[in-house]
Amino acid sequence: MSTKWDKDEEVQRFREYLKIPSVHPDIDYDGCVEFLKKQARELDLPVAVYELVARKPVVVITWEGVHKQLPSILLNSHMDVVPVYEEHWTHPPFGAVISEDGFIYARGTQDMKSMGMMHLEAVRRLKTAGVRLQRTVHISFVPDEEIGGVDGMGAFAASEEFKKLNVGFALDESVPSPKPKEIIVFYGEKTSRQIVITCRGEPGHGSLVAAGPVRTAGEKLHYIIDKFMALRAQEKKKIDQGAWFGDVTSINLTQVEGGVQINVLPERLSVSFDIRIAADADHEEFENMIIRWCKEAGDGVTFEYVVKNPQVKSTILNDKLAFWKVMDKAVKDMGFILKPVVCPGATDARYVRQQGIPAIGFSPLFDSPLLLHAHDESLHVDVFKKAVDLMEKVIEAVANV
């Protein structure tokens, strides 16, 4: 299908990147690495590929600034995308088809190959125009964000290779806004805590009803589930009253396991919860609450963490952070507003913040439905082109602080 964008080089490079199926599980990142090396050659910029974990490459393209000693700017995106159910897509998920009404259909159009290409295209425009930035800009492309990022940005941010980049400020991903002149930015994230609570009891015949204070594994499980679901209802009420998803603690029961037969009282039952603790919550108090609930449930009730991410301080957005100040002005000068919120999930920015570096999630996608991880993930060409305009101005502003 021919379209009016067939000769638009920015759009065609974006489509080329989208067609690389860097999809979980068992990703081969070679196609992405070769594509990015080609972009670096065209930009006449040096590129480094670090493999801190086998088959998990990190690609960094560097545009040196006038004052190399100043802390640099990091523009980060991830190369991996989530799985697809192809039978539910209008167009092939790695075909990067542009519909007649101008939407590009492909996995990664919103999350987040679009961001990597915005970074590259904005730098391409600035460099072509002969602009020299005061600070060095590093454009990084990391693996495995969609499965936690431990072997991607997690390993990279803790490495000597990362320290040598001398990063002073970073931009990562946010989410599209449905409003035509609003851009959502993330300044912090909730903390992921995934736990399994195990309740033990005496086995016996399924017809028995024990007298006295002794509780079965089922009774103990019931007590635990009641406590967590009551707290979940309190937090859900906040959302029903208009709170942003990122400002509440989310609790979801995801697995119940145990028992051997329907007429046998189980010796063990377990329940799993996926918890994302609000950024302003007291994490120690939250853990002590769980300990107390397990004790109240009865003897033999214990819990263990499957995931226990550390609390990472949010980036403080005020005039003291000059990068934020100029970024906000650049966006306003183009007729848009920034809406700062806490990310309801998790992004690679948390690993950067752990190093004491201010980081903001900035995906300048506006007037767009939220289609991250959805069937028919898509992005309108006009939104992508305008987003590159916005990214160009923001990069120029923060790199000249």
**Mapped to the 3 state alphabet, what secondary structure does the chain carry?**
CCCCCCCCHHHHHHHHHHCCCCECCCCCCHHHHHHHHHHHHHHCCCEEEEEEECCEEEEEEEECCCCCCCCEEEEEEECCECCCCHHHCCCCCCCCEECCCCEEECCCCCCCHHHHHHHHHHHHHHHHCCCCCCCCEEEEEECCHHHCCHHHHHHHHCCHHHHCCCEEEEEECCCCCCCCCEEEEEEEECEEEEEEEEEECCCEECCCCCCCCCCCHHHHHHHHHHHHHHHHHHHHHHHHCCCCHHHCCEEEEEEEEECCCCCEECCEEEEEEEEEECCCCCHHHHHHHHHHHHHHHCCCEEEEEEEECCCCCCCCCCCCCHHHHHHHHHHHHCCCEEEEEEECCCCCHHHHHHCCCCEEEECCCCCCCCCCCCCCCEEEHHHHHHHHHHHHHHHHHHCCC
Predicted confidence (pLDDT) per residue in 161-211, tens digit: 999 999 999 999 999 999 999 999 999 999 999 999 999 999 988 888 866
With bands split at pLDDT 50, 70 and 90, how would you rate the model's confidence at 213? low
Q: How far is CA 245 from CA 82, 276, 331, 384, in A?
A: 22, 10, 24, 26
Taking CA atoms, 33 is separated from 19, 40, 256, in Å, by 13, 11, 41
Question: What's the pLDDT score for residue 208?
Answer: 83
Question: Phi and psi dihedrals of 85, rounded to 5?
Answer: -110, 90
Identify whether the C-beta of residue 347 lies closer than 8 Å to the C-beta of residue 111.
no
Backbone angles phi, psi at 229, to 5 degrees: -75, -30
Q: For strands 137-142 and 250-258, give the pairing.
A: unpaired
pLDDT at 321: 98
Give the count of alpha carbons within 13 A of 288, CB side only.
5
Strand partners, 169: 73
- What is the predicted pLDDT for the residue at 211? 64
C-alpha dist (Å) from residue 329 to 46, 319, 337, 387: 31, 11, 9, 16
How would residue 212 be classed by pLDDT, with cut points 50, 70 and 90?
A: low
For the segment 274-321, what is each residue's pLDDT rounded down to a tens digit?
999 999 899 999 999 999 999 999 999 999 999 999 999 999 999 999
Structure tokens at 179: 């409003």
Q: Phi first, then psi: give them for residue 318, nearest 5 degrees.
A: -155, 180
Mean pLDDT of the chain: 96
Q: What is the arithmetic mean of pLDDT over 119-144?
A: 98
- How many residues would you count in the chain? 401
Q: How many CA atoms lie within 13 Å of 181's alpha carbon, on the beta-carbon side?
A: 6
Q: State residue 11's pLDDT score.
A: 98
pLDDT tens for residues 361-377?
A: 999 999 999 999 999 99
Predicted confidence at residue 4, as pLDDT, reads 87
How far, CA to CA in Å, does 108 sit from each of 15, 333, 379?
A: 10, 29, 9
Catalytic sites, residue numbers: 80, 145
Give the rounded percent of residues in the chain with a pLDDT score beyond 90: 94
The arrangement of strands across the sheet holding 97-98 comes to 97-98, 103-105, 378-380
Q: Are 174 and 343 in contact (CB under 8 A)?
A: yes
Say which residue, 135 or 1, is predicted with more confidence.
135
What domains are defined for the chain? 9-189+314-398 (3.40.630.10), 191-278+280-308 (3.30.70.360)
Q: Which of 198, 194, 359 is nearest to 277 (CA)?
A: 194
Short-list 326, 233, 243, CA closest to 279: 243
Angle, vertex CA 271, rays to CA 270 and CA 272, nearest 5: 130
Q: Look at residue 92 and tell me whether its pLDDT is greater than 70.
A: yes
